[in-house]
Amino acid sequence: MMKLFIDETRCKGCNICTMVCPYSIFTPGDTPNRRGIYVPVLDRPERCTNCRLTYLYGRQLCGVCSMICPDQAISWIADEPYSARCVVIEY
Amino acid sequence: MMKLFIDETRCKGCNICTMVCPYSIFTPGDTPNRRGIYVPVLDRPERCTNCRLTYLYGRQLCGVCSMICPDQAISWIADEPYSARCVVIEY
Amino acid sequence: MSRTEFFQGNIACAEGALAAGCRFFGGYPITPSTEVAEHLALKLPKVKGGCFIQMEDEIAGIAAVIGASWTGVRAMTATSGPGFSLMMENIGYAIMTETPCVIVNIQRGGPSTGQPTMAAQGDMMQCRFGSHGDSSIIALCPASVQECFELTVKAFNLADQFRTPVFLMADEAIGHMRERISIPDSVPYTGRKPAEKDTLPFKPDEDLIPGFAPFGSGHHVPVTGLTHDWRGYPATTNPDLHAELVSRLYHKIEDKRNGIADYEIENREASVVFICYGAPARTVAQVLHDQKHDGKDDLGCLRLRIVWPFPEALLEQFPHASVFIVPELNLGMISREIQRHTAVPVRSVSKIGGELHTPRELLQVAEEYR
Amino acid sequence: MSRTEFFQGNIACAEGALAAGCRFFGGYPITPSTEVAEHLALKLPKVKGGCFIQMEDEIAGIAAVIGASWTGVRAMTATSGPGFSLMMENIGYAIMTETPCVIVNIQRGGPSTGQPTMAAQGDMMQCRFGSHGDSSIIALCPASVQECFELTVKAFNLADQFRTPVFLMADEAIGHMRERISIPDSVPYTGRKPAEKDTLPFKPDEDLIPGFAPFGSGHHVPVTGLTHDWRGYPATTNPDLHAELVSRLYHKIEDKRNGIADYEIENREASVVFICYGAPARTVAQVLHDQKHDGKDDLGCLRLRIVWPFPEALLEQFPHASVFIVPELNLGMISREIQRHTAVPVRSVSKIGGELHTPRELLQVAEEYR
Amino acid sequence: MTRDDWYRHDRLPHIYCSGCGNGSIINCVLEAVSDIGWNIDETVFISGIGCSSRAPGYIQTDSLHTTHGRAIAFATGVKLANPDLHIVIFTGDGDLGAIGGNHFIHACRRNIDLTVICINNYIYGMTGGQGSPLTPYGKKSTTTPYGACEMPFDLCNLAVAAGANYVSRWTSYHVTELTKAVTAGLLTEGFSFIEVISQCPTSYGRRNSLREVSDQILYLKNNAVLHQRWKRMQEKGEDLSSDQFVVGEFIRQSRPSMGVSR
Amino acid sequence: MTRDDWYRHDRLPHIYCSGCGNGSIINCVLEAVSDIGWNIDETVFISGIGCSSRAPGYIQTDSLHTTHGRAIAFATGVKLANPDLHIVIFTGDGDLGAIGGNHFIHACRRNIDLTVICINNYIYGMTGGQGSPLTPYGKKSTTTPYGACEMPFDLCNLAVAAGANYVSRWTSYHVTELTKAVTAGLLTEGFSFIEVISQCPTSYGRRNSLREVSDQILYLKNNAVLHQRWKRMQEKGEDLSSDQFVVGEFIRQSRPSMGVSR
Amino acid sequence: MRHEVRFSGFGGQGIILSAVILGRAAVLYDNKNAVQTQVYGPEARGGASMSAVIIDDEDILFPKVINPNIFVIMSQEGFLKYGAGAPGNAVMLLDSGLVHDRPSCRYYEIPASREAKDRLGKIIVANIVMLGSLVAATGIITKEALEAGILSSVPKGTEDLNIRAMKLGFDLIMEGKGEP
Amino acid sequence: MRHEVRFSGFGGQGIILSAVILGRAAVLYDNKNAVQTQVYGPEARGGASMSAVIIDDEDILFPKVINPNIFVIMSQEGFLKYGAGAPGNAVMLLDSGLVHDRPSCRYYEIPASREAKDRLGKIIVANIVMLGSLVAATGIITKEALEAGILSSVPKGTEDLNIRAMKLGFDLIMEGKGEP
Ligand SMILES: Cc1ncc(C[n+]2csc(CCOP(=O)(O)OP(=O)(O)O)c2C)c(N)n1
Ligand SMILES: Cc1ncc(C[n+]2csc(CCOP(=O)(O)OP(=O)(O)O)c2C)c(N)n1
Ligand code: SF4
Ligand code: SF4
Ligand code: SF4
Ligand code: SF4
Ligand code: SF4
Ligand code: SF4
Ligand SMILES: [Mg+2]
Ligand SMILES: [Mg+2]
C-alpha cells in the first residue's frame, strides 16, 4: 500500500490539486502553517486509485495530482495496508 | 516616333535584352567598346512595338527590354518619324 | 510653476522624456529599466503624435528609434546591460549616420545576466567603446531622482544639438529608488539645427555638425552606415573621406568636452578629492556633509553629471589635491580615464555586488590620505 | 618537419585552428573575415569529429561556439566589426560561464558598416570593454601571415588554460595579404584542466581557475550567466558572491598579465621607442631596419603580440625612452592604456581610412624627437 | 529512474510563484524523459531567460541557462558537437516568440534534432508582466495597458511553415496528454516543438480578470479545442471564439534532419 | 513622373555585376511607384546590407541603408513615427532570410504597413557567394562546398503563417508580372511581401552550372510554376522537381494592420 | 532627525506599497524628505519581500538604510531575514498572527491580518492596518499626511476600505493592544 | 632587391590569380620572399581590379606597394586608374588590344587577349599569357618557378592550356612582339 503525502516545505498552497483529483481527495486548507501557507488537507486519501492499486498493477494508475502539482509537493510513500473497512467511492 | 537607344556608358553587355525582345531586335555585339564592353547592336529597331505605337496609344506598349535591362541602359528618345518603308515583321 | 512628486528614478526619466517632447519609444523590457517603458506605454499613447512600441528585441528597439528619429521626432529607448550589449551595432549606426537619439541604460550587475536586480556602473566603458570602430558619444549620470528627470531632458537637447546618440547611464539604485522630485511646467529646449535648402545633407557647418533634414521634407537624404561623402553617397574605399568623416564625428564631440561639462565642485582647496558620478555621489555627499560635523574641511569633490566626453580640464580645479579618490560601482572604469590625465595619484575604490559604498567605507579610504 | 605555403592571413588563421585541434566552427560571413569560414567549411567536414555550421547570424554563431565548447571540443568563430558588436552579449556569457573559445576579428574600418574592405584596428577597446559589466579577456594581434597561424594556435591554448574567450584581433591588411608561411607538423598544446571527480564545478583552484567538466561526462554541471556560487547555482542578490566571482574572473587573467605577455623588444637603449601591434608593426620594422642603413640606432620598439591584458611592466624595459610613439590604425586606443602607466610622453600616431602608415610617415614623427 | 530522480532536490522549492504552471510542465517533461529511459549523464537541458527558462536549473543534469532568446542557438552548437547528447530546451513565449524567433524558425528549417518545450503564459513573467508576441489581442499587460493592439503569433503554425518535424500544443492542465506529446517529440528525429499554454497568476491572470489560479486552470480546460474538432468546425465554417485555442498534434513528419546521432 | 525620374542618375551606373538581376527588379519597383503616383517626397526606401540592399542608394528619395538584417525594424520606427510616409524595403535572401528573419516574422505578425521586396538570389552576393537559408538543398556555395545540407526556407509560406496581408513571388525575368505584384503590394494595407527570385551570375550561377547569364534567365523562365498550376498538380499528387518553384500570389487579406496613415 | 523604517513580509501582502505610501505621505503631505527603496529579485517572490523608507527633515544624501530603527514585519520569514537582527534601541511592529518569534527590542504585536479579516472582511488591507499602527505608535509622520498618502495611492473605489483599515491600525495602538 | 609589381584589369580577367601565381612561384619555387595584396571592395566589381606583388630576396617588412616599378595592365580603365601615373623608370606590360593609351615609361604591347583567343581558343587565359610575358621580359622570377607556380594554382584539367598560354607569353616577348 502507499500513502499520499504533501511535503509542507514545498507546497505553496495553490490548490490546483483540489481541482483535479477525480475523487476530490484534496480540499483547501484553512489554517496557515509557519510559512503562512494554507496547505490542502486530504479527505479520506485511501480512496486514491494510485494508493490502492499501483502495487497491484505494477504501474502508476492516476498520479494526476502529483504530476500537476507545480511545486513537486505531492508524492506517495510506502504505508502498511489499510485495515479492511468500507470505502465509499464517489464518482 | 521614338527611337530605341542603348546608353553605352551604362550597358554592361549582359545580353539579357537579346533574350527577351519578341522581335529579336537586340543581338549580341561583337566588338568591345573602350570600356571593354560588348554592347548589343540593334537589328532594325523600327520593328519595336513600343517605338512604333507608343505615341499612337498614348502609353507604353511593350517596354520589356527597358524594364529588364538591369543597367538602366535602354530607353527611347524622340525621333523624326521613319520614312515609309516596308517593315517585315517576324513573329 | 512646478509640481512635486514622489517618484522612482525610472519614472522620473520617463517623465523627463515626455517633458522634453519625446514622441517615440521603441524598446524591449529588461530589469531594472522596465518601468521607463511601462510608464511611457501608459503615457505616450495619450500624447499627440506619441507612439510606444515594444519591439521583438533590443536590436529592433534601437533600430526603430533611429528610424523614428529620421522623421524628425525625438525618440528614445531604455535598457540594461544585456540589452545594451545587443544594441552596440546599431548604436554605431546612429553615430555614423549622426542620428539624434537617447538611450537609457539602468545599469545592473554584469557581466552577462549577472545580477538583474542589483546596482552597478559596469557599462561605463561600454557606452564609450562598445561599438566597433572609432567614435565618441555623450554620457550623463544622474545621482538622484530629480536628476533622472533633468538629465533626460538634457540628453535630448544634447542629442539634437550634436546629432549623436546620448546615453543616460543611470543605475539600479537611482532608477529604482523613490524620492522627492519637482517637475517644472516647462524645460529647456535645444532642437536640431535644420538643414538649409539645397545644402548637402552631410556637409558640416563650422561647428562640425550638418543641419538635419527629416524624411518627408523633400531633401531626399540618402542615409547609410557606410563611409559616405557629404551627399551621403557611399565611398568605402576612399581613405581620406573616411578619415575626414570619422575624425569629424569624433571631434564634433570631443572638442567641446570641457565646454559641455556638467559638474559640481565642492571645496577646491581640498587635499583629498573625491571624483564621482551616479549613485556613489550620494555616499560622497554624505561623507562631505559629515566632515563639517566633525569640524573638518580637507575633503573635496568633483561630481560629474556628464562623464563622457571626459572633461579632463576639471582635474586642474583642485590645485592642492594629493589624491583623487574615485568610488565606482565597477572595477575602476572612470579611474582609468582619470589616470590618463593627471599626475595626482588616483585611488580607485571599487565596489561590485550591488550595494552602494557606505559613508564609513569611503571615509576610511579618505583617512588614509589625511 | 614543416611545409611552406603562400597563404592569406585568413587562411593561415583557419589552418592554425585546424592544427590546434579546433573541431567546431560556427559563424556568419562578413568581409574581411569570410575566408576563415570558407576555408574551414572546406576542411572541417573532412576532419574526424569536425563540424562547420553557418548560423543565422553572429549572435547564433558565438552561441553555437559556446555550446560546442561545453561538449569539450575546441571551437571558434570569425567575424569583423558589425558581427563583433552583435556578439557582445554572448561574449559576456562566455566570460561569466568561463567557456573557452576563440573569436577571430579581422578588423575593418568602422564605426558601423564603414569601410568593409579596408584595414583598421578600431575594435581594440571593444574587445576589452564591449560587453556590459566588469571583465577581462585576452587579445592577440598578429603582424604577419605566419603569426596568424601561430597566434591562433596560442589563442586556443590560452582559452583552454584560462577558461575564457580569447580574441585574435587581426586586421584586413594582415588577413588579406598573402605571404610565406611555414606550417609545422605539430603545434604546442595546453588543454583544459579537467575537473576532479566530485568537485564543485565552479570552485577555483589556486590559479583561480576551476577544472572543466564537459557535458556528457557525468558531472551534471549547471551553467548559467547569472551570478552563481561554486556549485553553479544562481545567487543573484548576494553581493559578496558576486564580488568574489567577478573579481576572480578579472584577476585570473589580469594577475598573469606580465607573465603571459608575448612581445618583441628591439633596442632597449633607444630614446625614441615605438610601441606597436598588428599591421603597423610592419611599418615600424621597416623604419627600424632602415635606420641601420642610415647608421642610426636611437630608435627602439616594443611590439606586442598579446595586447590585452596589457603588460605594463614592459614599459620599464626602456630606461632611456624620451617618448613612446604609438602608431595605430585607430584614433589612439592602446595609446590611452599606455598613458595610464607611464610618465614618459605618449605620442599617438593615428591613421584611419584603411591604409597603413608609410615608413616615411613614422620616420617623420620619430625625427621630431631625435 | 523515476521522474523524481531527475530533480535537483537541493534547489527545491523553486522560485516560481504559487500556482504557476511551470512546475507542472517540468514534471511532465521529466516524466517523459524518465519513461523513455534516457541516461541522465547524456541528457542536457538548455534554456534562455525567463521564469520558464529557469527550469533546467532544477534538473540534475548538465544544463545551460543561456542568454535571453538564444537557447536554440547554443543548443545547436552542443548537439552538432556531440550528437550523442539528448537535448531538451525550455523556453517561454517571450524568450522564443519575441527575441528568439529567428533561432526558432532556423532550427525548424534545419530540422536539427532538438526538442523545444515552449511555455506560453501569454506574458513576460520574469520581468513582471509585459506583453509578449503571444499576448492575445486586447489583453492587458504592463506594456499594453489599453489592451494588446498587435495580433499574436501562432507558434505552431510558424513551426510547421518553417519545416519542423514534430509540432503539438497542450496546456499545463493537460498533464497526461502533454507528457505523451513530449514523449513523441523526444522520440522524433529532427526538430520537435511543443507549445504549452500555461497559467501565470502573478503577471497575467490578475490583469486579465482571471484573479485566482483556479480561474486560469478552468480557462485552460474550457478553451482548449482539440485539433480534430477544429478541423470539423472549419469544415462547417465555424470559427474559434477569441479565447479558444487549438490543442493536439499538428505535424509529425520526417524531412531531412541534422545532428542526429548515428 | 516616370520610372526614370526616380533614379539618382548621378549614381548610375550602379555597382552591380553585369547580368545581375537587381537592376531589373529596381526598374519594376520604380515602375510600380511611379504608376501609382506616389509623391517622391513622401516615399522612403529602406534596406539592410547586401547587393540587393544597395538599391535605395540609386533612388532619388529619402532612404535608409541600415545594418545587416535590420531594415524592417528601422522601417517600423519610420512608419510608426510618420504614417504618412510610404515605405518600401529592399532586402535579400541573406538579409531577410538569415539574420533578419525575426524582424520579418514580427512585421508579418504586426501587419505593419510596409512593402518588402526580397531579392532572392539563393546566395550572399555581396560577400562573395556564401550559402544562405534560401540556397537550395545540394547547391554549392563557398560555405557549402559539398552542396547545401540544410533545407531552405519557403519565405512566402513563412510570411503567410506569420500573418502578412499580401504575399507573392515572381522572378527578375517576369518583369511585367512582378511590376503588377509590387503594385498590388504597395496598395495593400498592412504588410506586403514580394519575393523575387533573381540571378546572381557572379556568386551563384557559375558555381552551380549556370555559367552564363542566359542560363540563369532560362532557369527562372522554365522553372517557375504558377500558383494555380501548382494547386492542380497537388490535386493530382504531383510534386515539383527540385529546380521548380511556385510563383504567383499566395495571399491577399486584411487582418488588422498597424501604421496605416488615416 | 533621520528615521530608517524597514518593512518586510511575503509577496502579495503589499509590503512595497506600504513603504511607498509612507514615503509619499512624508514628502507630499508632511513636507519632509523621504527615500524609498526595496529588494527586487526573483528570490523575493516566494520568500520574504523587503522595502525601506528613510524619512528626514534634512536632505537625504546617502539613500540606503544603514541602521534601521523602525521595523514593520508581516511574516515569519521576513522576521528571520530582515527583523531578527534589530538593534536594542529599535521599535518593531509585527503582525502577531503571522510572526512567531519575537525580537529583543521594543515591539508592538499587531494582529493586523486577523483584524483586517475579521473586522473589515478583507485580509488584503492588513498592510494598511500596520501602517496606521506604525504612525500611531511612532508619530514618524502625521496621521493627516498618512491619510492623504493612502488616498492618493490606493485604487479608486477602495478608499473607504483603506481608510477604515488605517483607523483600525490607529485604534489597535490606542487601545493599547499592540503594547509590548 | 625589392620589386613591386602591380596588376590591373577588369573583373573576370584573373588579375588577382595572376598576382597570386607570381607570388606563390617566387616563394615556393624561387625561394624568394613575396607579399601579395589586392584591392577589395564593391567598386572593384564593375570597375578596375588591382592586385600587387612585392618580391624581394630579403624579408619583406612593409607589405604594401609604395613605388611600383613593374605594371601589368589589362584594361583601359585599369590603365587610367592604376597605370597612368607610372614613373619614368618603370616597365609596363599592357594588353595592347584592351588598353588604348600608352604610358610615358618603357612598355611592352602584348596582344594577350587576342592571341589567347586566336591561338589557344580561350580568351580566359590572357592573364597567363601576360604572366609569361612579364617573366620573360623582366626575369623577376625564373621561368621554371613560374611554370611550377601555374601548375600548382590552376584547376585540374587546365594545366596544359595554361602552360601553353604561359609559353605563348614567353614567345611574344622572345619574338620581340611586345618591344616598345
Ligand atoms: C537581452 C535581454 N533582454 C531582456 C531581458 C529581460 N528579460 C528577462 S526574462 C524576459 C521575458 C521572459 O518572458 P518569457 O520567455 O515569456 O518567460 P516567462 O518569464 O514568462 O516564463 C525578459 C524580457 C534579458 N534578460 N536579456
Ligand atoms: C552584422 C553583419 N554581418 C555580416 C555582414 C556581412 N554581409 C554583408 S551583405 C551579407 C549577405 C547579403 O546577402 P543577401 O541579403 O542575400 O544580399 P545579396 O548580396 O545576395 O543581394 C553579409 C553576410 C554585415 N555587413 N553585417
Ligand atoms: S498542487 Fe501542490 S503546491 Fe498546490 S496546493 Fe496542492 S500540494 Fe500544494
Ligand atoms: S493520484 Fe489521482 S486519484 Fe490519487 S489523489 Fe492524485 S489525483 Fe486523486
Ligand atoms: S540588357 Fe541592358 S545592360 Fe544588358 S546588354 Fe542589353 S542594354 Fe546592355
Ligand atoms: S520594347 Fe519590346 S519590342 Fe521594343 S525593343 Fe523592347 S522588347 Fe523589343
Ligand atoms: S511570474 Fe508568472 S511565470 Fe513567473 S513564476 Fe510567477 S506565475 Fe510563474
Ligand atoms: S554579386 Fe551577384 S547579386 Fe551582387 S551584384 Fe554581382 S551578380 Fe548581383
Ligand atoms: Mg512568458
Ligand atoms: Mg542574396
The yes-or-no verdict on residue D1 having pLDDT over 90 is: no
**Domains in chain G, please, with CATH?**
3-174 (3.40.920.10)
Closest ligand 2 atom to residue F54 Cα is 21
Q: Which residues of F touch B5 (CB under 8 A)?
A: none
Q: Is residue D151 scored above 90 in pLDDT?
A: yes
Q: Are G6 and G48 contacting, i.e. CB atoms less than 8 angstroms apart?
A: no
H and A touching (3 or more beta-carbon pairs closer than 8 Å): no
Mean pLDDT of chain G: 93
Over chain C, what is the mean pLDDT?
Answer: 97
Tell me the per-residue pLDDT of E175-188, one tens digit each, with 9 for 90 and over.
Answer: 999 999 999 999 99
Specify whether the CB–CB gap between C191 and C160 falls below 8 A.
yes
pLDDT tens, N- to C-terminus, chain A (91 residues): 678 999 999 999 999 999 999 999 999 998 888 777 899 999 999 888 877 777 777 777 789 999 999 999 999 887 765 555 555 555 5
Question: Which residues 5-34 in chain A show a CB within 8 A of chain E?
Answer: 9-10, 12-16, 19-20
Q: What is the SS3 assignment for C274?
A: strand
pLDDT greater than 80 at residue F166: yes
pLDDT at residue number F262: 67
Per-residue pLDDT tens digits for C196-207: 998 999 999 999
* Number of structural domains chain F divides into: 1
> Cα separation of E99 and E76, whole Å?
17
Q: What is the pLDDT of residues G111-150, one digit of tens each?
A: 999 999 999 999 999 999 999 999 999 999 999 999 999 9
Residue C88 has pLDDT above 80, yes or no: yes
The ligand that comes nearest to the alpha carbon of residue B60 is 6
E228-246 in b/e form (b: 16+ CB < 10 A) is eebeeeeeeeeeeeeeebb
pLDDT higher than 80, residue H180 = no
Query: What is the rounded average pLDDT of the residues D324-340?
Result: 98
Q: Is A89 inside any structural domain?
A: no
pLDDT at F109: 98
Give the mean model confidence (pLDDT) for residues C313-341: 97
Q: Using an 8 Å CB-CB cutoff, list chain H residues near B35.
A: 76-77
Smallest Cβ–Cβ distance between C41 and the set E67, E133, E145 belongs to E145
- Contact list in D for residue C113 (CB cut-off 8 A) is 93, 96, 224-226
For ligand 8, atom 2, name the residue with the nearest CA. Answer: F200
| Predicted local confidence at residue D64, as pLDDT | 98
* Tens digit of each residue's pLDDT (9 = 90 or more) over B36-85: 789 999 999 988 887 777 777 777 778 999 999 999 999 988 776 555 55
User: CA-to-CA distance for E109 and E191, rounded, in angstroms?
Assistant: 9
**Candidate from F152-161, F166-175, H74-83, H170-179 with smallest mean pLDDT:** H170-179
SS3 label, residue F220:
helix
Instruction: List the C222-224 sheet strands across, edge first.
Output: C222-224, F62-65, F43-47, F86-92, F115-120, F192-197, F166-171, F245-252, F224-226
Terminal-to-terminal C-alpha distance of chain A: 22
Does residue E38's CB lie within 6 angstroms of at least one atom of ligand 7? Answer: no
**CATH superfamily of the domain spanning C2-184:** Thiamin diphosphate (ThDP)-binding fold, Pyr/PP domains (3.40.50.970)
Provide mean pLDDT across the span D211-235.
Answer: 98
Test site for ligand 4: of A19, A24, A61, A66, most ligand atoms within 8 A of the Cβ:
A66
F222 pLDDT band (50/70/90 cuts)?
Answer: very high
Q: Is residue A91 part of a domain?
A: no
Domain annotation covers residue B62: yes
* Average pLDDT over every residue of F154-167: 98
Which tens digit of pLDDT belongs to each residue from F16-54? 999 999 999 999 999 999 999 999 999 999 999 999 999
A76-85, D206-215, F94-103: the lowest-pLDDT one: A76-85
pLDDT at residue A82, as a whole number: 53
F228: in domain: yes
Q: Is A75 on the interface with E (CB under 8 A)?
A: yes
> Whose C-alpha lies nearest to ligand 6, atom 6?
B65
The pLDDT score that the predictor gives to residue A49 is 82
Residue H134 is predicted with a pLDDT of 97
Is D55 within 8 Å of E67 when comparing Cβ atoms? no
Q: Which residues of chain E have pLDDT under 70?
A: 262
pLDDT of residue A84: 53
Which band of pLDDT confidence, cut at 50, 70 and 90, is reported for residue D363?
Answer: very high
A chain contacts of residue G75, beta-carbon cutoff 8 Å: 35-36
Q: Are H41 and D116 in contact (CB under 8 A)?
A: yes
- Note the pLDDT of residue A2: 79
pLDDT at G43: 55
Residue list, CB under 5 A from ion ligand 9 = E 92-94, 121, 125
Is the CB of C29 inside a 6 Å radius of any atom of ligand 1?
yes
The response to whether residue A49 sits with its C-beta less than 6 Å from ligand 4 reads yes
The verdict on residue F159 lying in a domain is: yes
Contact between chain D and chain B (3 or more Cβ pairs less than 8 Å apart):
no
Residue F77 contacts residue C66 (beta carbons within 8 Å):
yes
What are the CA-CA distances from residue H7 to residues C138, D118, D243, H65, H74 (Å)? 46, 19, 59, 12, 8
φ, ψ of residue E256 to 5 degrees: the values are -55, 140
> Which residues of C, range 221-240, sit inside 8 Å of F by Cβ?
221-226, 233-234
**What are the distances in angstroms from CA C343 to CA C125, C273, C318?**
22, 14, 12
The answer to whether residue E224 is domain-embedded is yes
User: Does residue F16 sit in helix, strand or coil?
Assistant: coil
Residue recorded with cell 534545419: E110
Residue spans of the domains in chain C: they are 2-184, 263-367
- Per CATH, which fold does D263-367 belong to? Rossmann fold (3.40.50)
Q: Which contacts (CB < 8 Å, 24+ apart) does range G106-112 have?
A: G106/G180, G107/G180, G108/G133, G108/G137, G108/G173, G108/G178, G108/G179, G108/G180, G109/G177, G109/G178, G109/G180, G110/G169, G110/G172, G110/G173, G110/G177, G110/G178, G111/G172, G111/G177, G112/G74, G112/G169, G112/G172
Q: Tell me the pLDDT band of C54, cut-offs 50, 70 and 90.
A: very high
- Taking the centre of ligand 10 as the mean of its atom positions, its distance from the CA of residue F194, in whole angstroms, is 14
CATH number at residue E55: 3.40.50.970
pLDDT, tens only, C243-258: 999 999 999 999 999 9
Position B80 scores a pLDDT of 67
Question: What was the pLDDT predicted at B78?
Answer: 79
Instruction: Give Cβ neighbours of residue E39 (< 8 Å, ≥ 6 apart).
Output: none
Set of cell numbers at residue B65: 527590354
Q: Is residue A44 part of a domain?
A: yes
Could you tell me the residue range of the domain that residue F233 belongs to? 3-252
Whether the pLDDT of residue D294 is over 90: the answer is no
Percent share of chain C, pLDDT over 90 = 98
- The pLDDT of residue H43 is above 60: no
What is the CATH classification number for the domain harbouring A41?
Answer: 3.30.70.20
Residue F36 lies in a domain: yes
State the pLDDT at residue D157.
98
Count of domains in chain A? Answer: 1
The reply to whether F260 falls in a domain is: no
Any domain includes A85? no
Q: Which of H99, E204, C135 is nearest to D85 (CA)?
A: C135
pLDDT at H83: 94
